Structure 1
Amino acid sequence: MKEDNCLHAALICLGMLYYSHAITTEKLNHARPSLHGHHEKGKEGQVLHRSKRGWVWNQFFVIEEYTGPDPVLVGRLHSDIDSGDGNIKYILSGEGAGIIFVIDDKSGNIHATKTLDREERAQYTLTAQAVDRNTNRPLEPPSEFIVKVQDINDNPPEFLHENYHANVPERSNVGIIRTALPNMDREAKEEYHVVIQAKDMGGHMGGLSGTTKVTITLTDVNDNPPKFPQSVYQMSVSEAAVPGEEVGRVKAKDPDIGENGLVAYSIIDGDGMDMFEITTDYETQEGVVKLKKLLDFETKKSYSLKVEAANVHIDPKFISNGPFKDTVTVKISVEDADEPPVFLKPNYIFEVQENAASGTVVGKVHAKDPDAANSAIRYSIDRHTDLERYFIINAEDGNIKTIKALDREEIAWHNISVFAVEVHKQHQEAKVPVAIKVVDVNDNAPKFAAAYEAFVCENARSNQQFITISADDKDDSANGPRFIFSLPPEIIHNPNFTLRDNRDNTASVLVRREGFSRQKQDLYLLPIVISDGGLPPMSSTNTLTIRVCGCDSNGSLLSCNAEAYILNAGLSTGALVAILTCIVILLVIVVLFVTLKRQKKEPLIVFEEEDVRENIITYDDEGGGEEDTEAFDIATLQNPDGINGFIPRKDIKPEYQYMPRPGLRPAPNSVDVDDFINTRIQEADNDPTAPPYDSIQIYGYEGRGSVAGSLSSLESATTDSDLDYDYLQNWGPRFKKLADLYGSKDTFDDDS
């Protein structure tokens, strides 16, 4: 392999040298044209001779990235007419002329003044021309040439990305990047980092190189089976657990990831296969053991299961590493629980005849304690299901009896609930529904199915049917139909009507004679006897009301009212219209009279000028003084509540009650103002429970210049009073002013 690489490098180098020599030769041949003179035929047969001319240059290639101190020589221009005396001037124009490329106007040498980069620009097109130095007259036509920038190895190889990521399945054999080990295991090491170098020039000396990083990740394959970390799992569950409740969890470990690590669990053997089930929790990859049926500690105390864990997805390439499954034993112990009593049946259905005597046994319920203790049981009825208290139960043996008679027609089924509780553990109780059917007894006679009222025409024919009746019985169908209809024996030969039993629980009433008259009799009452088919049979007599009506020739009813018939016979239609017209006229006259009466009625509102109520409204005069007792009734100042006794305070509760002195109460009808005021002043002075305000201050000030003094009880207080008002200090800030006015002398001295 190494010899092949060397041979390839040698061939590449020889090819490059040959290509460079061929290009140089082509340029030289193209740039050094031999422009020898040739003959042209002129006018009139003259032969014109053209002097030969040509351009001469050494080379037109320049190496990129030249870093020497002097400008690099690109080439030399030389014209055949240049004799070297300096009379010819060389001019350069075109791309980069004067900036990158400069020419010596005497010698024609072209130099590059700047460093060139072939990767930026590979060639330049220039134009050269020779002119007379003195006159600038062109001596040669312009000539165009190309300067190519020659490439050198100045750029190392570069990778397109700084870092590369590759995924290789574990245990792979070959690839572009080959594994050095035959069985690389992802579970041992998942990621590898590799540095790759790239060299140009076939890796020979002088070439450049570049590097990149490659991260190689081993992808997972299903090459590991699941394994349980232990051989036996111990679990326990209470016998009170309900189906679907979780018992425990098992987990098999699989080092693979993703779908290669998915594990499914199943129960493959054991005596608990019918009692338990297992499901897979795919989030945690655990097997969840759940209860499937109810357990009974007294029946079986432990169970054993054999659980298998298997991979969901198996790779056929690694089937030889199998089997991709594992098994484990799960032992489950049942824990005893304090269970409530259990009834022998999930529900009970009993029957009892209606109208049975009180104390009749309906049925018996039975419950037992499933625990080993087998505690005694007491029974009771849930009174929320027997609000009317029809039944009672024996607390010891569970016998259900009636308390009062039952009526099937009122309630056909009674649905009650019975509780069973342990005697020593009242919190342990069970409940069972009990349905009690009330068996029917023929205790209701049949009756009319509706309130029938029949109508017969006056012109009815004999044996004409005019109504069909049916019956209804509240009893059960066994004690009801078939109904038998008949007439009472005493009217079996009724001259007017007859009855026919249709034998389908209906009967038809027919007319026995022809012709009826409303004037003679417009109403008939026909008794009908209805019997049921029960044992013993019951019957009832029902009355059918039959009205005689007027009908037309087709038998259609016109009128069934006898009075209307008589009225119609005595008064004509014109008389009836005249009576109605008179009534309407009288109503119109009454309405007009009432309307006119309202328009002439005087207004009820009295003008203010005529409303003389000076005792209530007018207060702008001072009156006649105390001797004037007619302008105001002094009795209005008297409190009717205080006539019969002392008026207590309503703002606070006083420490003790003050009873008014006898003999100070004024007479109820007294009009003596002086006695009234003096009495009130004396009561206010001696009443410790009086309000802290002057209750009669509304007339304490009688105006400026009044000869009467102040009537305020506050100024009437004297220091000669024997009452002690020191307790006012304890009534708070609301009574401070009053306490200062009525306080003791020591208090005034202290304040001063």
Structure 2
Amino acid sequence: MQRIQSEKSILDEPDSPLEVRNDSKVNYHMALGYSIPEELKQGSVVGHLARDLGLVVSELYRRKLRITSEAGKQYFSVDLGKGELVVIDRIDREDLCGQRPSCVFPLELVIDNPLQLHRVEIEIQDTNDNSPSFLTKEKVLQIAELVNPGARFPLESAHDPDVGSNSVRSYLISKNDHFKLTVKTHKDGRKIPELVLEKPLDREKLSVHNLIITAVDGGDPVRSGTSEITVIVLDNNDNAPQFEKQVYEANISENARPGIEIVHVKATDADEGQNGEIEYYFAEQTTDLILSLFDIEPSSGAIVVKGSLDHETNHFHRFDITAKDKGNPKMDGHCGVEIKIVDINDNIPEIIVTSLTTPVPEDSAIGTVIALISAKDPDSGDNGKITLSVSSKSPFKLSPSGSNHYSLVTKGPLDREINGQYSVKISATDSGKPPLSSEKVILVELLDVNDNPPVFSQRSYVVYVKENHAPGKIVSSVSATDPDSGDNAKISYSILDSKVQDVSVSSYVYINSDNGSIYSMHSFDYEKLKVFQIQVQAKDQGSPSLSSNATVRVFILDQNDNAPAVIYPSSAALGSLSHQRMPRSAKAGHLVTKLTAVDADSGHNAWISYKLTEATDASLFTVNLYTGEVRTKRAVSEQDDSSQRLLIEIKDDGEPVQSATVTVSILLEDGLHEPILDLRQKVSEPSKKTGRITLYLILSLASVSVLSLVTFLILAVKCMRSSRSSDSCCMTRSDCDNYKNPNRNLQIQLNTDGPIKYVEVLGGDMLSQSQSFRSCMSPMSEYSDFTLIKPSSTTDFKEVISVLDASLPDSTWTFESQQVSKTNSFIQNRLDAATLRVEISSPLIGRWKRMMCTNRIQNCTKQSSPCPHAASAP
């Protein structure tokens, strides 16, 4: 075997191999070639591929070296253990290449990891394995005896499938006295034997001459073939027809329909009569292929199309025509006809996928080689020039890597979650007129990588759990999804460690790692824990794993599990019995005592009401339902018992109702002064013994009064500014008294035993649309109070809560709502107004209230603003 290394680069030789590296760049190499004789035995070694290509034999299995060929049959394979190219089937050069002088068998070697493509050309050398043969084994020639010496008679050429020196080299004629043999070489290289008459024929001496022609090739050893020629000597007709041309040439399109005339041959005969009448025939040695494609009119010599022509199968046809007269004996003349088949664009381009890598990781870099593609078109010229294209919407493009060779590479990022599989449509179009095209679809699957973290259905969850519920019950459930696939989409849930009241959150709840269900570890107590927050993490099982977090806020809902507790009087709190003293001179409305109770619950569960259930004399005392004040309903008479006993029930508004009872023992005594005196009387009748104390009290009251006056002036200025854009600048007492309505939406209460007795913030009417700041003093109220009504936003309300929460203990105020489970949304979305009521135990405030309300009414009158019920205000 002989190795041949081409001296031309791929730029000069379009069929040269190419190499594709993992960096998506293709390097060009010189073609590798071998030369072998045909008919090698199976298993014969053509060449050592691994050594010649610089490959490591031990890596051939891993790199999956394989052979691809455009031929329909495989003749070669690679011994991966030795790296040798061997023959696996009989190779007949004549079957592969016919009469072509050069027979090259192309192979493409594809190697993976990294991807490489090499072209190997194997030249099949001819051996002298075929003998020359004549199509006609016996030929009869009729020659008139009057033919002059030197006349030539063309004979049939011998056919030898071998080429080069192994084809027909010479002809020999058997020994005779009248004929010799000459060989005429045609311009296409064919050798045509001719029988030449050397001596005149004499039919009377010898009417039949038997000759043997032998065709000899130039092989080693020499092969030959023979044919018998019988020459019959005829009498009379001594002029043979003569053609106008020795060779007729014509072009015909390959799509010519049967019956179309191609060329018209014409011959003349100098004889007269039947000896000069000529008929045209195909020569005796004409092949069956010519007879199936063409026909000739015997009388006219017109050659017409008979069968289907195909430029790709055979673009050139040559045959001989014989013209015979009707003389006796018949004389004939000969000419050649050459017909070229003109190509038309009748073949669709073919797309060949040489190598395909799939599936492809979705994070493949731009320029990654996906497939190696080639195209072919058996047409010629522009009809065979092919252009390949791919859809512009596809994330792939074609990169030329040689003549009609392309690399399919990525041109943009891939995302399996958007499209897990691409049907890449490749179109091939030739340059013919009209152009023909074909399409091929390549399925490219994407391999998932973990590029998407789990996504929770919500960024944050709000959960409401009743206190005292059984441990182990499900609290809530979170869910997350991951658009990845396989392990990259398998999600496990966990709770991130954090502290709740200095205790790990894992002591409160745990989560099912598979489905995200959150369970409680123990029962909750609203009075100890009202709300806590946990962080849930969802993590996939990819490598590396990705995760995301969600916040779960757990609100503990209060249940009525605490009874009201009495905090004043303190003696009642200890033994549920309070001893009080009051004078018999007490009038109706006399304040005997005031009960104060608190409830550790919240909302309706902490709304406390007071009720007198039993009394020694029910007509003498009354208990305020909301404040717990015990007052006389009438003046005490001499007939009333000196010892009065009251049983007061304190209950909340929860379900079920929780209650407590307090027994108040009241002793009626004569001459006992009232504990609550009019401050104005004490000021107008000072005692000398308490003058200093009174002075201190006056100074304190004066300081408080000045401070209060400044506060009220600021409020009045704000009210005047706000009233310019409001519909009403004042309100009546009936509007201010709405704080007693228990159906308020929001309430804040402050209860102390100091100078400030009561602070209450009540939610405004849900339907109120007022946006003005309005204030009203209640001069007719029996309480020392003032009321401010202001449209409130969530921010303002939170500021009030923050101030109260920062300045007061938790046990001194409660926050209530009609809809406990929707407290947050209620505050943020539905709170339209808030009423603030402050009660101050100072008669001096009453005068300030009257003055401020009178000024407000006057201002309203000056501004001509509507002021309902203004006339009723003193």
Structure showing greater radius of gyration is 1
* Same structural fold, with TM-score higher than 0.5 when normalized by the shorter chain: no
TM-score, normalising length: structure 2: 0.28
Higher relative contact order (CA 8 A, sep 6+): 2
Q: Give the TM-score taking structure 1 as reference length.
A: 0.32
Which is strand-richer, 1 or 2?
2
